[in-house]
Amino acid sequence: MTVDRRGFVIRTGAGAAGLTIGLSGCGPGEGGAARRPGPEGWPTDPDALAAVYRDNIYTRRLGVRPHLPAHEHVSRLGGGRMDPEVIAAMAEANEFFVDMHELLEAAAARIAERLGTEAALVTAGGFSAMVLGAAGCLTGTDPERVHALPLPT
């Protein structure tokens, strides 16, 4: 079945909510530092907790100071934590090379199947989903307007 951009946006609600699947992560830092568990396994002693926040992958590699996660999941503050199953799947996937076009099509088909929708689209994040939804609204099914992006008249 072929679905145009406008149909995709309407059927999946991508224009309103920006359905996204994001994958990101970091391995342990340099020097053999062990991967620390989530906050539920972190030290409760204030000095030990301060040490974790002073010495972590972000401070060691980039000089960026983490903040205490006393908020809901917010993308600009690091998003949410990944389940161990997700991290394990990423580690296994990291061992192989695949055609990215084939991967994106297969992932989109799987997501659509799981959601019970006609189509899905894998994006780099929420903002990317909104941009693609807006592009679909601007261009409709007109190939000339699609090729004129980012400035369709």
> Average model confidence (pLDDT) for the chain?
77
pLDDT one-digit tens code per residue, 85-116 = 999 999 999 999 999 999 999 999 999 999 99
Residue 18 is predicted with a pLDDT of 37
Q: What's the mean pLDDT in 75-85?
A: 81
- pTM (2 d.p.): 0.54
pLDDT one-digit tens code per residue, 27-40 = 333 333 344 445 56
Residue 94 is predicted with a pLDDT of 95
pLDDT one-digit tens code per residue, 50-70 = 888 899 999 999 999 888 777
Q: Cα 84 from chain centroid?
A: 16
The tokens 């903002």 sit on which residue? 127
Token pair in block for residue 114: 């799981």
Q: SS3 for the chain, per residue?
A: CCCCHHHHHHHHCHHHHCCCCCCCCCCCCHHHCCCCCCHHHCCCCHHHHHHHHHCCHHHHHHCCCCCCCCCCCEHHHCECCCCHHHHHHHHHHCCCCCCHHHHHHHHHHHHHHHHCCCCCCCCCCHHHHHHHHHHHHHHCCCHHHHHHCCCCC
Which of 69-78, 88-97, 117-126 is predicted with the least confidence, judged by mean pLDDT?
69-78
Q: What's the mean pLDDT in 112-132?
A: 92
